[in-house]
Amino acid sequence: MRLATAEINLSALSYNLKRIKELAPDARVMAVLKANAYGHGLVKIAQHLNDADVFAVARIDEALALRAGGLTKPIVLLEGFFNRTDLPILIANNFETIIHDENQLRAIETSQLDARLSVWLKIDTGMHRLGIEPQQFERFYQRLKACDNINPKMKLMTHFSCADDLNSTQTQHQITVFERLVADKPEARCLANSAGVLGWPGSHGDWIRPGLMMYGVSPMLNRVGAEHGLKPVMRLTTRVIAIKTIAAGEKVGYGGRWQSQQQTQLAVVAMGYGDGYPRNVRCGTPVVIREKRYGIVGTVSMDMITVDIGNNPDGIAVGDPVEMWGPALPVEEVAACAGTIPYELLCNVTTRVSYDYLTPTD
Ligand SMILES: *Cc1c(COP(=O)(O)O)cnc(C)c1O
């Protein structure tokens, strides 16, 4: 019996990319595939994103894995390179790099390269993670322009810290800082992550960088993908492996943290933190069995959870499929039950889970 399985719906992926293009019709798309395509499988996902313009990852190894998988589109390294010795790898593989600091720029200026490197100059407009300071911009810009190792068609970018929150003034502030700084430059602009695409149309610019929304999931506070016309790509399922009846007052699971109020039945489900399911979900976090929601009770263990199915009116039986998240149960909701964000749950799916790629029908 097949237990923990991540069904990856590739037609939903194509659908979401189309939806992204409807939302930002004038922008080109940098499809963000870092962290194993947010847990969906790097190469398989990339193979179904022909309509994206370029790919983006966080680490050189992720970019090399895409090349090893036969993908030929340009790949942008979102954190750039970390060492001068990486530069020949970038050139040889048609990787493009973010420039976010002086060391990177100096390494490019003082290296012998076989071809020109394509670069994205990243400006810190308020996130305070990577990026040059606004007051450094003009100087960096001029040095990049003057450098023979660099493709003169550079791109200008920044990253938002609070775009998931429509009530925050931070995003508009960042857009304003960025636009003022680059106002007299002809280069293409790139600002929006998924939350920018969805919530801040004024940020779309020439290039967008959607990640989470491609996978059908909402980055916005208290929203789910379906509210934006997106379809979840991952459906994480498993099966019921035992059913048992317990008397009133019995304690369930490690630490006996949950106690039954009356006689009830428990479905034991083959899913735990060993599969990437979060251990700290609150009591009552839903799963879906036979199209109905039931709540988790007791502690999540490595391989199993226990679900209270009451007097089992629907006749749940051993072998029944259980959806942990997916079309019937948004991962955004499960993340909220675990006090985290859907990004983390998707990335955390472990190698014990089997992946099933459902091929597009359209
Ligand atoms: C991860 C990342 C993105 C994509 O973010 P989402 O919220 O998943 O759309 C965009 N830009 C940068 C720089 C990133 O690191």
As a whole number, mean pLDDT of residues 26-46 equals 98
Q: Looking at 193-328, which runs of residues are DSSP E strands?
A: 207-208, 234-246, 251-252, 258-259, 264-269, 286-289, 292-297, 305-310, 321-325
Give the separation between CA 288 and CA 70, rounded to whole angstroms. 38
Closest CA to 219 of 286, 227, 46: 227
Ligand 1 and 16: CB distance under 6 A: no
Residue 86 one-letter amino acid: D
- Give me ligand 1 centre to Cα 211, in Å: 6
| Pocket of ligand 1 contains residue 209 by CB under 6 Å | yes
Atom of ligand 1 nearest to the CA of 157: 13
Residue 81 in contact with residue 113, Cβ under 8 Å?
Answer: no
> Distance from the CA of 218 to the center of ligand 1, in angstroms?
13
> Does the CB atom of residue 19 touch ligand 1 within 6 A?
no
- Which residue has the least CA distance to atom 10 on ligand 1? 193
Task: Supply the pLDDT for residue 246.
Answer: 98
DSSP 201: G
Task: Kindly indicate the confidence band of residue 260, based on its pLDDT and cuts at 50, 70 and 90.
Answer: very high
**Ligand 1 in contact with 78 (CB < 6 A)?**
yes
Confidence at residue 360, expressed as pLDDT on a 0 to 100 scale? 62
Instruction: Give the number of the atom of ligand 1 that is nearest the alpha carbon of residue 197.
Output: 9
Task: Quote the ligand 1 centre to 103 CA distance (angstroms).
Answer: 23
50-97: pLDDT as tens digits? 999 999 999 999 999 999 999 999 999 999 999 999 999 999 999 999
Residue % of the chain over a pLDDT of 70:
99
Is any atom of ligand 1 closer than 6 Å to the C-beta of 210? yes
Per-residue model confidence (pLDDT) at position 1: 83
How far, in Å, from the CA of 350 to the mean position of ligand 1?
22
Instruction: Kindly give the distance from the C-alpha atom of residue 159 to the centroid of ligand 1, in angstroms, as a whole number.
Output: 8
pLDDT over 90 percentage in the chain: 98
> Does ligand 1 come within 6 angstroms of the Cβ of 193?
yes
Pocket probe for ligand 1: among 62, 78, 331, the residue whose CB has the most ligand atoms within 8 Å is 78
pLDDT digits (tens, 9 = 90+) for 283-322: 999 999 999 999 999 999 999 999 999 999 999 999 999 9
Which pLDDT does position 105 carry in this prediction? 96
User: What are the φ/ψ torsions at residue 42 (nearest 5 degrees)?
Assistant: -55, -60
Question: What is the pTM assigned to this prediction?
Answer: 0.96
**pLDDT bucket at 359, cuts 50 / 70 / 90:** confident
Q: Is the CB of 100 under 6 A from ligand 1?
A: no
Examine the pLDDT at 12 and tell me if it is beyond 50.
yes
Full DSSP string of 142-167: HHHHH-TTB-S--EEE---SSTT-TT
Per-residue confidence band for 175, with pLDDT thresholds at 50, 70 and 90: very high
Residues 111-139: pLDDT tens digits?
A: 999 999 999 999 999 999 999 999 999 99
Give dist(CA 334, CA 339) in Å, integer.
9
Report pLDDT for 362. Answer: 47
Average pLDDT, the chain: 97
Atom of ligand 1 at shortest distance to CA of 130? 13
Residue 284 neighbours by CB under 8 Å, 6+ apart: 295, 296, 297, 337
For the segment 147-152, the average pLDDT, to the nearest whole number, is: 96
**Cβ 32 vs Cβ 9: under 8 Å:** no
Give me ligand 1 centre to Cα 208, in Å: 10
Region 342-359: what's the mean pLDDT? 97
- Give the number of the atom of ligand 1 that is nearest the alpha carbon of residue 209: 10
- What is the average per-residue pLDDT within 154-174? 97
- For each of the domains in the chain, give its residue range(s) and CATH number, in order of start: 10-214 (3.20.20.10), 234-358 (2.40.37.10)
Kindly state the average pLDDT of the residues 148-169: 97
Weakest mean pLDDT among 183-197, 208-222, 259-273, 348-362 = 348-362
**258 to each of 163, 248, 308, 333, how far by Cα in Å?**
38, 11, 11, 22
If you ran DSSP here, which 8-state letter would residue 184 be given? T
As annotated, the active-site residues are 34, 254
Closest ligand 1 atom, residue 164 Cα: 7
| Any ligand 1 atom below 6 A from CB of 212 | yes
The answer on pLDDT for 234 being more than 60 is yes
pLDDT band at 361, cuts 50/70/90? low
Alpha helices in the chain (DSSP H): 10-23, 34-39, 42-47, 60-68, 87-93, 102-109, 137-146, 170-182, 194-199, 331-337, 342-347
CB 173 within 8 A of CB 139: no
Q: In this structure, are residues 118 and 142 in contact, taking their beta carbons and an 8 Å threshold?
A: no
Ligand 1 mean position, distance from CA 191 (Å):
10
